[in-house]
Amino acid sequence: MKLGTFIVGMATALMLTGGAMAQQAQPIIIKFSHVVAPDTPKGKAAEFFRKLAEERTQGRVKVEVYPNSQLYKDKEEMEALQLGAVQMLAPSLAKFGPLGVKEFEVFDLPYIFPSKDVLRSVTEGPLGRSLLKKLEGKGIIGLAYWDNGFKIMSANKPLKKPDDFKGVKMRIQSSKVLDSQMRALGALPQVMAFSEVYQALQTGVVDGTENPPSNMYTQKMHEVQKFATISNHGYLGYAVIVNKKFWEGLPPDIRATLEGAMNESTKFANAIAQTENDDAMKAMQASGKT
């Protein structure tokens, strides 16, 4: 072999090897979309997970967090996940009934959880795991439950007794249980994307809503609602989910590392939820607007 030919061959081989190594070095991208503000319990937990995932995989995974419906609204994000346009979501549990997994509607029933301990026995026990398992038929893997808190009512008039709800247009998530609940009170339920609620309250398209205090405060709903009723009538929690095909296609060591990061993020989310809601309630009261 001539020296020139040998050198050209070696150079070509090195270029190909270098290209392959560069290609392998590209991080796995996880687009994590959600609809609430970054300073809510869910928003903070998503950032906590991002940091852990990137650190523990040593850069092999990059998590891009998109809060406040930057990518998709409530009604769009589930389909986006199933199509692979995003890899991870943390939708409210009310979203899974309309998806066809009716068992999740139990979380929307009023006053079904008398305490956080009872709630935890469900979400951290075999029943909670079995519910997440039912999502696999929809192309979804359920990783964890994240707490947000119990809901309060808000409106521009006091809501102290059932008669006070008559004719009040109340924004709800898409849920047959929530719809029936409001109609039983005499209210007029209005299904609406979370990102649209503030403007709808401001313009009178809806009169009131139900949310944990942290959601209400971070979206500034207290600025356009005169009254809040601390009813704690229903639970609003989230399930962290991933696209099934994406998750099962990850290298086993990466998947195991992400599962560990998710477990710690779940503990973090559940630990801060109550404090965040308590602080939000105090801030709304101090504002003098609600």
Q: Which segment of 1-5, 68-72, 129-133 scores lowest on mean pLDDT? A: 1-5
DSSP readout, 160-179? -SGGGGTT-EEEE-S-HHHH
Q: What is the residue whose two structure tokens read 């504002």?
A: 287
Q: What is the mean pLDDT of the chain?
A: 92
Q: Evaluate if residue 17 carries a pLDDT over 60.
A: no
Mean pLDDT within 214-226: 96
The arithmetic mean of pLDDT across residues 83-100, rounded, is 96
Q: With DSSP H G I counted as helix, E B as strand and the rest as coil, what are the percentages for the chain, rounded to 5? A: 55, 20, 30
pLDDT tens, position by position, 222-277: 999 999 999 999 999 999 999 999 999 999 999 999 999 999 999 999 999 999 99
Name all domains of the chain by residue range, CATH numbers in brackets. Answer: 25-101+116-147+237-272 (3.40.190.170), 152-231 (3.40.190.10)
pLDDT given for residue 15 in this prediction: 52
**How many other CB atoms are there within 10 angstroms of residue 138's CB atom?**
16
Which position has the higher pLDDT, 1 or 264?
264
User: What pLDDT is stored for residue 290 in this prediction?
Assistant: 83
**CA of residue 250 relative to chain centroid, distance:** 22
Q: In what order do the strands lie in the sheet with 227-229?
A: 188-191, 169-172, 208-211, 152-155, 227-229
Residue 23 has pLDDT above 60, yes or no: no
Give residue 84's pLDDT band: very low, low, confident or very high (50, 70, 90): very high
Cβ burial, residue 146 (10 Å; 0-12/13-18/19+): buried
Percent of the chain with pLDDT over 70: 92
Question: pLDDT band at 12, cuts 50/70/90?
Answer: low
pLDDT band at 24 (very low <50, low <70, confident <90, very high): low
**Mean pLDDT to the nearest integer, 19-24:** 49
With a CB cutoff of 8 Å and minimum separation 6, the contacts of 149 are 41, 212, 213, 214, 235, 236, 273, 274, 276, 277
The stretch 31-53 carries a mean pLDDT of 97
Calculate mean pLDDT across residues 62-80: 95
